[in-house]
Amino acid sequence: MSTNNIINAVAADDAAIMPSIANKKILMGFWHNWAAGASDGYQQGQFANMNLTDIPAEYNVVAVAFMKGQGIPTFKP
């Protein structure tokens, strides 16, 4: 694939168009889909297992990580 084709493919991706966050407050969290284990959380605690749909609405940015699944998911902001 040529450099121009790569640039065009990236520019066509919906994630390439980023909204402005200038002068906005951000509350960011991280979500993943692998099971919790003993001492996996902050200061050796255990984090809560929750569905992605159960994240409180106050979080306006959520970084999502998949360890399990098939294929590569596509997300649109």
Q: What are the tens digits of pLDDT across the range 18-75? A: 778 889 899 998 887 766 666 666 677 777 778 888 989 999 888 887 665 566 666 6
Whether 11 is in a domain gets the answer no
Q: Report the domain count for the chain.
A: 1
- Asked if the model's pLDDT at residue 3 lies above 60, the reply is no
Whether 59 is in a domain gets the answer yes
Domain range for 24 is 17-77
**Residue 32: burial class (beta carbons within 10 Å; 0-12, 13-18, 19+):** middle
**pLDDT of 33:** 72
Whether 1 is in a domain gets the answer no
Whether 5 is in a domain gets the answer no
Whether 8 is in a domain gets the answer no
**pLDDT of 27:** 92
Write down the pTM of the prediction.
Answer: 0.48
